[in-house]
Amino acid sequence: MHAFDDALTLTPTDQHTASGRTTAAYANMVGPFGGTTAAIYLRAVEQHPERVGDPLALTVNFAAPIRDGEFSVLAQPVRTNRTNQHWTLTLTQGDDVAGTASAVLGRRRDTWQDTEAVMPRVPDPEDVPPIAAAPVPWLTNYDMRFVDGPMPMPGDRPSETSRTTLWVRDSPTRPLDFASLVAMCDCFYPRPFLRLGGWLAAGTVSMTVYLHATAEELSAQGSDHVLATASASRFAGGYADQTASLWGRGGTLLATTHQLVYFNDRRRS
Amino acid sequence: MHAFDDALTLTPTDQHTASGRTTAAYANMVGPFGGTTAAIYLRAVEQHPERVGDPLALTVNFAAPIRDGEFSVLAQPVRTNRTNQHWTLTLTQGDDVAGTASAVLGRRRDTWQDTEAVMPRVPDPEDVPPIAAAPVPWLTNYDMRFVDGPMPMPGDRPSETSRTTLWVRDSPTRPLDFASLVAMCDCFYPRPFLRLGGWLAAGTVSMTVYLHATAEELSAQGSDHVLATASASRFAGGYADQTASLWGRGGTLLATTHQLVYFNDRRRS
């Protein structure tokens, strides 16, 4: 079993509740990699017997660090319409709420379509070296090849822009699905690192993913590299936003995703 | 009392629940203007006695049209940390869930700051004519001055881009606050109108607002015009995203906001 599927293993405990546990493979500096947590919420919906349609939107609120060990996910379908379905979710450890989420699923229809955003022109992933170091465990599960804005090392000079662009895929490879796409939406290190030239205490507070890809488009993507590009609009008062796009190599816009990030520039290294 | 404050009037009914009602002033084609609904969720948190800090992020899921009349808002503080607080909210009419929301509040700290996004260079609002027609009631409560991408009229040619930029403020004027800023984040007509050159059945499914402005910045803004600019990345399968920024005239990035929008191009006019 792929480490990602292992991390997403949820055992139903009653109609709307399932239990899971953190895995060492996706450990972050504090608690698990947020992308895995986001994927766990989605998986709880995907495996729920009342699920209708494919995921369209997911918002995850990181209320507190998840402690190593077991957790419970409550997934409630609060409204099912003709073409879409709304879910609310809560992740608890004992009596503590560690996070909440909401998901919108829907059936896509055949309509006019167009991709207006423009995929960055970058070298092929085969022509970009993968990162060698993994300062936190979860990074070892990804093949990351930075085209622009790699993670600064302590002592690096601040960058003038918060733009990072990289090729990313699971390592070892794994066919892309909605859950792994959602996880990849959180593959970026915090934008303040780049603008301040170093590492600081920082973490995602809230994250939203809009899934543009259909199941067929994901299937066509297979386990090929995904181009992920992110930047921020404003940093102030200990918070910054991040907006990002994930593209299939062939030019399919798979997802757009947005975050609010906490940072503390007094805790730097 | 300003019509906006009237629309946001919520009467506590128990510890976490308040009742409100739709108002004719903010009626949309079907149900109330979504911006008002988003502001109502925020107001439910703002007036809750357990509230800590200012709003940082708000996600609103529009699960069903709100019927004209009364509704109930349940606002639950699910986690209060040292510097932030997480809320989940549900809007019901009788036994029906019409929508859900989540909010993150926090205390901002004094950190490094920078605005990396660039405010569009546009004429002053005094040099742009306000829209004359209001095809839906809620529009009469806003002074809107389109710099780019005005709402197409039936029979107009499709636009090559989904970009709309406008000056917007309450009409009659009202000092900007977090709630009215949130409402303005939904001031854009659906992007498919512009790309398809006409009106079609469309509506917001999920909306996220990141509030960059501090209370002091809102106070400095007063009741001056806000510059709002929006565009979409991808349209497909009956859904499109929208990403937008709201700026104070002096160059303060007040909010960034994102939506997933439903559209049906077989129901056009």
Residues of B in contact with A81 (CB under 8 A): 63-64
Percentage of chain A lying above the pLDDT 90 cut: 94
**Burial grade of B257 (CB within 10 A; 0-12, 13-18, 19 or more):** buried
Residue in A81, A212, A260 nearest the CB of B64: A81
Neighbouring-strand partners of residue A155: none
pLDDT value of residue B168: 98
Query: Average of pLDDT values for A153-168?
Result: 93
Query: Average of pLDDT values for A230-247?
Result: 98
pLDDT at A143 over 90: yes
pLDDT at A154 over 80: no
pLDDT value of residue A132: 85
Residue in A79, A116, A214 nearest the CB of B64: A79
Query: What's the pTM value of the predicted model, to 2 decimals?
Result: 0.98
State the nearest Cα–Cα gap between B113 and chain A, in angstroms. 4
Residues of A in contact with B185 (CB under 8 A): none
pLDDT value of residue A269: 64
> Is residue B194 within 8 Å of B159, Cβ to Cβ?
yes
CB contact under 8 A, A117 and B238: no
Tell me which residues of chain B have a pLDDT lower than 70.
269
> Is residue B246 within 8 Å of B226, Cβ to Cβ?
yes
Query: Average of pLDDT values for A10-16?
Result: 97
Residues of A in contact with B239 (CB under 8 A): 56, 106, 108, 212
Per-residue DSSP letters for B42-98? Answer: HHHHHTSTT--SEEEEEEEEE-SPPPSSEEEEEEEEEEE-SSEEEEEEEEEETTEEE
Residue in B88, B108, B253 nearest the CB of A237: B108
Q: Model confidence over A70-113: pLDDT tens digits?
A: 999 999 999 999 999 999 999 999 999 999 999 999 999 999 99
Q: For B159, name the nearest residue in chain A, comparing CA atoms only.
A: A116
Question: ipTM of this predicted complex?
Answer: 0.97
pLDDT value of residue B269: 63
pLDDT value of residue A145: 98
**Burial grade of A14 (CB within 10 A; 0-12, 13-18, 19 or more):** exposed
Q: Which of A39-43, A78-82, A149-153, A265-269 is the least confident region?
A: A265-269
pLDDT value of residue A93: 98
pLDDT at A188 over 90: yes
pLDDT at A267 over 80: no
Query: H-type helices in A86-225, by residue range?
Result: 178-184, 191-196, 215-221
pLDDT band with cut points at 50, 70 and 90 for residue A211: very high
Query: Average of pLDDT values for A169-198?
Result: 97
What single-letter amino acid sits at B233?
S
